[in-house]
Structure 1
Amino acid sequence: MQAVFKKEDITKALGVTLGVVEKKQTLPILANVLLEVNESSFHLTATDLESEVRTSGPLESVSSEGRTTTSAKKLNDLCRLIPDGSSIEIKLSGDKIQLKTPTGKYSLATLPSDDFPIFENQESGEQLNVNSKDLRKIFSTTSFAMGNQDWRHYLNGLYLELKDGFLTGVATDAHRLAINTFEVSSGSSFSGIVPRKSVNEMTKFLADADGEVSLLITDSSIELNTGNITFKSKLIDGNYPDFNQVIPSGDSFVLEVDVKELSESLSRVSVLSSDKYRGIRLNVSDGSLMVSANNPEEEAGEETLGVNYSGENIDIAFNVNYLQEILSHQEGNVCNIKFFGSDKSCLMLPPNADFPKYVVMPLLI
Structure 2
Amino acid sequence: MKLSIERAALLKAVSQAQSVVERRNTIPILANVLIEAEGDIASFRATDLDIEVVDKTVAQVERAGATTVSAVTLHEIVRKLPDGALVTLTEDPAAGRITVEAGRSNFSLATLPREDFPVMATSEYSANFSAKAPDLRRLFDKAKFAISTEETRYYLNGVYMHIADGEEGKVLRCVATDGHRLARIDAEMPADALEMPGVIVPRKTVGELRKLLDDDDMQIAVSVSETKVRFATPDITLTSKVIDGTFPDYTRVIPQGNTRKMEVDASDFAKAVDRVATVSSERSRAVKLALDEDRLVLSVNAPDSGAAEEELAVAYGDERLEIGFNAKYLLEIANQVDRENAVFLFNSAGDPTLMREGNDTSAIYVVMPMRV
- Asked whether the 8 Å contact 2:347–2:353 carries over to 1, the reply is yes
Q: Is the 8 A contact 2:258 2:345 kept in 1?
A: no
Match of 2:298 in 1: 291
Deviation at 1:274, TM superposition (A): 5.7
Partner of 2:82: 83
Is the 1:253–1:311 Cα contact (8 Å) retained in structure 2? yes
Where does residue 173 of structure 1 map in the other structure?
Answer: 178
Which 5+ residue runs of structure 1 have no aligned equivalent? none
The amino acid that maps onto 2:140 is F
1:356 equivalent in alignment to 2:363: yes
* Compared CA separation, residues 274 and 103, structure 1 to 2 (3 A): closer
**Structure 1 stretch 227-236 or stretch 19-28: which is displaced more?**
19-28
How many Å separate the matches in 2 of 1:289 and 1:8? 51
Conserved? CA contact 1:89–1:99, under 8 Å: yes
After the TM superposition, which parts of structure 1 deviate over 3 Å for at least 4 consecutive aligned residues? none
Tell which deviates more after alignment, 83-92 or 37-46: 83-92
CA distance in 2, matches of 1:340, 1:285: 14
In structure 2, how many angstroms separate the alpha carbons of the residues matched to 1:129 and 1:163?
17
Match of 1:346 in 2: 353
| Secondary structure of residue in 1 paired with 2:361 | coil
The residue type paired with residue 313 of structure 1 is R
TM-score (norm: length of structure 1): 0.96
SS of the residue 1:355 aligns to: strand
AA aligned to 2:62 is: S
| Contact 1:269 1:302 survives alignment (8 Å) | yes
**Which residue of structure 2 lines up, in the alignment, with residue 41 of structure 1?**
41
Matches within 5 A, 1:169-318: 169-184=174-189, 185-186=191-192, 187-208=194-215, 210-273=217-280, 275=282, 277-297=284-304, 299-318=306-325
Rounded Cα–Cα distance in structure 1 between residues aligned with 2:214 and 2:371: 39
C-alpha deviation, 1:204, in angstroms: 2.1
Shift in Å, 1:252: 1.2
1:249-276 CA-to-partner distances (Å, cap 9, x unmatched) read 1141100001121112111111123616
Q: Following the alignment from structure 2 to structure 1, what is the Cα–Cα distance between the partners of residues 300 and 120?
A: 51
* Residue 18 of structure 1, CA deviation: 2.2
Q: CA deviation at 1:84?
A: 2.0
Residue by residue over 1:173-227, the C-alpha shift from the partner in whole angstroms, topping out at 9 and shown as x without a partner, is: 1100000011122332420111100011112221246331111000001000122
Shift of 1:121: 1.9
In structure 2, the CA distance between the partners of 1:300 and 1:163, relative to structure 1 (3 Å rule), is: closer
Matching residue of 2:156: 155
Residues 255 and 163 (structure 1), Cα distance of their counterparts in 2 relative to 1, 3 Å cut: closer
1:339 and 1:202 mapped to 2: Cα distance? 35
Q: Is the 1:290–1:302 Cα contact (8 Å) retained in structure 2?
A: yes
Aligned to 1:126: 127
Query: RMSD of the alignment, in Å?
Result: 1.5
Q: Is the 8 A contact 2:159 2:176 kept in 1?
A: yes
Tell me which amino acid in the other structure corresponds to 1:331.
Answer: D
SS at match of 1:354: strand
